[in-house]
Amino acid sequence: QKEVEQNSGPLSVPEGAIASLNCTYSDRGSQSFFWYRQYSGKSPELIMSIYSNGDKEDGRFTAQLNKASQYVSLLIRDSQPSDSATYLCAVNNGGAGANSKLTFGKGITLSVRP
């Protein structure tokens, strides 16, 4: 059974701080990694994808991938109250690329305190 594990949370940070979200996965063959944000009562939306070891930055978000250690993380700089949501880590499960089946972690709820 391919698994994706996320810290159980919830995570609370003050406004302006860096939020660090972590994820580990069991399948060494996984090639594509994603972070989704889900507001309460809404559907998940893709915020970051990463395919190669190292860092990928997009605005206030940075995804980090270490395939040797089988972890992927998401850093949110200058956290805002609007970042308060559940963040889902997803890893491809069969096939390559963004269209493959995904296995999702249980998610971690982030709360940004004003």
Q: Which is nearer to other proteins, 20 or 38 (CB)?
A: 38
CA distances from 57 to 41, 77, 91 (A): 28, 11, 19
The two structure tokens encoding residue 24: 């580990």
Count Cα atoms within 13 angstroms, Cβ side, for 2: 15
Kindly tell me which of 20 and 49 has the beta carbon lying closer to other proteins. Answer: 49
CB of 113 to other proteins, least distance (A): 22
Q: Report how far residue 96's alpha carbon sits from residue 105's, in angstroms, rounded to the nearest whole number.
A: 19
Least distance (Å) between residue 112 CB and other proteins: 20
Q: Pairing state of beta strands 61-66 and 71-76?
A: antiparallel
Where on the chain is the footprint of other proteins (CB under 8 A)? 4, 34, 36, 42-46, 49, 88, 90, 93, 97-99, 101-107
Q: How far is the CB of 16 from other proteins (least distance, A)?
A: 29
If the CB atoms of residues 15 and 106 are measured against other proteins, the closer one turns out to be 106
